[in-house]
Structure 1
Amino acid sequence: MSASVEQAIEQVAEAIARVENEIEEINEILKNPTISDVDKAYYRQKESQLRQEKSQLRQEKADIRQKELLLIERTPMPSIPENQSVNTPFLEDMQKDITVIKESVSKPDRATPQKTPASFGAEELSRLEGLGNVHNPDEKGIGDAVLTTEQSGSLLQLETEHQVVAFLTPFLTAVFQCNGSSNRVLVNSEEYKWLKTSGDEKSTYNQKPDMFICHKSLYQKRDPFAATGDSKLHQMRRSTDIFGQLSHWNLRRFLCVVLEAKKDISNSAFGQTINYAAHLSFEESGPITVRLVLFDRESFWLVETVKGRASSVRKCRWVDGGSKSRLEKFMLQDPLIKVLDKACFELGLVPEENGYLGSGAFGLVFKVCNQNGVAFALKIVPDVDDNVAELQKQMSITNEAKRKCPHLIVGAEEDSFRKFESYY
């Protein structure tokens, strides 16, 4: 990438950071309970303007990368003397530029790489190592470890992947703060094919990652699979363990993290894991960033992918100091799901398991209950474009219809609208 392009991108990044700092300062001001309504309106308007500026800067950054790609592709290649090697530093640098820029602005044409998991995993790991994006365990890490030495010793004695998953389930539940007030759940999907590999939702080729973490409204509960012939696995299970699958394929962009277990991590295991990300990110409805945890009896790898391709790997051991914090902070949290929880808290509602009811042009609808057990449909929309204005318009139309036809139309609950400025 040319120096001028790098400089332009750096300037835009600095501008984005400046805007984010200003937004953060405004959010702190808005938290002050003594602020007047006039000042509050002023700062909210200013925050809205800053968010628009931030969006424009991000688009500018993407445009710069796209223009650089076009310039490189249109630049005629220099003639090479017959006695000179083709592998000149200039050509090598240009090829690297093209590769990096293409990766940042384009999606893969196919979700499934045409290679075995082992060869794909080895190739991707080598590529990341060449880029300096593979980080080895930190033996001098500071902070709590996921496991004690004694617990790690017990884990090393296990004989099957199912046992590894069962043993680590309570530790992972604690690290990611699942099954509590967070409304997050750690779901065991070892035997449930929910990850689509084609347009056929019921394809026999669909895959089944061992575990995933999501909001409790986004998964469908299933009965625990039979622990046939494995009495130890049966003993290791707990009544609080959750089994199931993602309730709808379109919800995959709200996954916090996907986890895959092996007795021992290998190139094949790594290839299989990043292939999950390729399928999850395939098509426009998929997430741009997917985070996965590949783990075995001794260690875990924090794998980040962008647009279906691995971008970094951090290797950790269960007993390393600070491994607990690294694992916890690796999880993604979508702003729209934060809004769901905030809305439920503000309105005195409880989100239901498998509560996803559907999505429209600009929002998601969930089943929730009030303190009396009465069910409601709660619609959540991102505060971008004209979504909030459209939602308010829908409420007005529905309430007017309820007024005219009280026995036929169910309207919106009174005082049931909330806007949460800090999430978008």
Structure 2
Amino acid sequence: MPYLQDIVSESGNQCFIYNSEEYKYGLKPASKHLPLTKSLMCLLHDQNYYGILAAWKLRSFIGLTCEAKQNISNSSFGEVIDYGAHICHGRHAPIMTHLLMFDKQEHWLVEIMKGAVSQVVRCKWTDGGSRTRLKESILQNWLVEVIDQSCKKFGLTIECDSFLGSGAFGYVFKAKRVSDGKKLALKVTGWEDQYILRLELEYRRMHEAHLVCPGEVMGVEEDGFAVFEN
């Protein structure tokens, strides 16, 4: 893993490393009880068929999923395809995801598009250009970059398991101000103009509402809105 961490750093991406085994899928239904009608079964299809992973809203921001094997085989290749297909399934799923399967001798770069394999590149670790190809396969992650810039500007820290949820636009995280330890909520969104305008409008409305009803409406920190260059 240190070798792969170096490659991620060289690519210029901000990243977090997680153990994907914590996000089970296809093992047991997320819902304990089956619904009585067929229509309700259709509504719960994602949960019943794909398990916990179907409800994981942040999987759109996975830069690269890595799977280590003692020896690459057809069976292990099938496992990687299956996991990639699950990442690309459901309401909060990305259209495309990249996976890396590797052993001591070689590595396979697998691209999954809309749940199906769209590209596979096989390389030996000793092949010329393999390191560059690996760096180029890591998907860009705007969310982590914006969170990093926000923490620097506002003097915040965000710990593991801090994700609170997402709505029509934007993602909300628990944060703590370094200077005084105050707990805050940080909402971030992409660089698209319509999202920035909606976030700015929400900021102004919350600020005005808090001035009128300070005991009922959550306040917004002074100078708590910022737009970063893309």
1:415 aligned residue (185, 205, 223): 223
Deviation at 1:365, TM superposition (A): 0.3
Deviation at 1:269, TM superposition (A): 1.5
Counterpart position of 1:406 = 214
1:59-100 deviations in Å (ceiling 9; x for gaps): xxxxxxxxxxxxxxxxxxxxxxxxxxxxxxxxxxxxxxxxxx
Counterpart position of 2:30 = 200
1-side partners of 2:195 and 2:27: how far apart? Answer: 32
Counterpart position of 1:155 = none
2:145 aligned residue (312, 328, 338): 338
1:335-379 deviations in Å (ceiling 9; x for gaps): 233222222223232222221111111111012222223221111
Deviation at 1:266, TM superposition (A): 1.4
Counterpart position of 1:380 = 188
Q: Are 1:296 and 2:135 matched, yes or no? A: no
Query: For structure 2, which runs of at least 5 residues remain unmatched after alignment?
Result: 33-46
1:366 aligned residue (173, 193, 196): 173
Deviation at 1:253, TM superposition (A): 0.8
1-side partners of 2:152 and 2:224: how far apart? Answer: 12
* 8 Å Cα contact 1:195/1:280 also seen in 2: no
Counterpart position of 1:313 = 120
2-side partners of 1:386 and 1:171: how far apart? Answer: 39
Structure 1 residues 198 and 312: CA distance shift in structure 2, 3 A: farther
2-side partners of 1:297 and 1:361: how far apart? Answer: 44
Structure 2 counterparts to residues 342-353 of structure 1, below 5 A: 342-353=149-160
Q: State TM-score, norm by structure 1.
A: 0.45
Q: State TM-score, norm by structure 2.
A: 0.78
Structure 2 counterparts to residues 8-407 of structure 1, below 5 A: 169-177=1-9, 184-190=15-21, 192-195=22-25, 200=30, 249-372=56-179, 373-384=181-192, 386-407=194-215
2-side partners of 1:334 and 1:196: how far apart? Answer: 27
Deviation at 1:407, TM superposition (A): 4.1
* 8 Å Cα contact 1:368/1:377 also seen in 2: yes
* 8 Å Cα contact 2:14/2:144 also seen in 1: no
Instruction: Give the partner amino acid of 1:184.
Output: C
Deviation at 1:204, TM superposition (A): 10
The structure showing larger relative contact order (alpha-carbon pairs under 8 Å, at least 6 residues apart) is 1
2-side partners of 1:339 and 1:266: how far apart? Answer: 39
1-side partners of 2:154 and 2:13: how far apart? Answer: 16
Instruction: Give the partner amino acid of 2:154.
Output: L
Deviation at 1:291, TM superposition (A): 0.1
1-side partners of 2:177 and 2:49: how far apart? Answer: 41
Q: Which has the higher Rg, Structure 1 or Structure 2?
A: 1
Deviation at 1:419, TM superposition (A): 1.5
Higher helix share: 1
User: Percent same amino acid among aligned pairs?
Assistant: 38
2-side partners of 1:205 and 1:254: how far apart? Answer: 22
1-side partners of 2:135 and 2:183: how far apart? Answer: 33
Deviation at 1:308, TM superposition (A): 1.4
Counterpart position of 2:41 = none
Instruction: Give the partner amino acid of 2:30.
Output: D
1-side partners of 2:187 and 2:129: how far apart? Answer: 39
* 8 Å Cα contact 2:31/2:48 also seen in 1: no
Query: For structure 1, which runs of at least 5 residues remain unmatched after alignment?
Result: 1-168, 208-244
Counterpart position of 1:240 = none
* 8 Å Cα contact 2:15/2:144 also seen in 1: no
Q: Count residues with an aligned counterpart.
A: 214
* 8 Å Cα contact 1:197/1:279 also seen in 2: no
1-side partners of 2:58 and 2:25: how far apart? Answer: 11
2-side partners of 1:400 and 1:320: how far apart? Answer: 60
2-side partners of 1:346 and 1:254: how far apart? Answer: 22
1-side partners of 2:169 and 2:99: how far apart? Answer: 28
1:107-165 deviations in Å (ceiling 9; x for gaps): xxxxxxxxxxxxxxxxxxxxxxxxxxxxxxxxxxxxxxxxxxxxxxxxxxxxxxxxxxx
1-side partners of 2:97 and 2:178: how far apart? Answer: 36
Instruction: Give the partner amino acid of 1:400.
Output: E
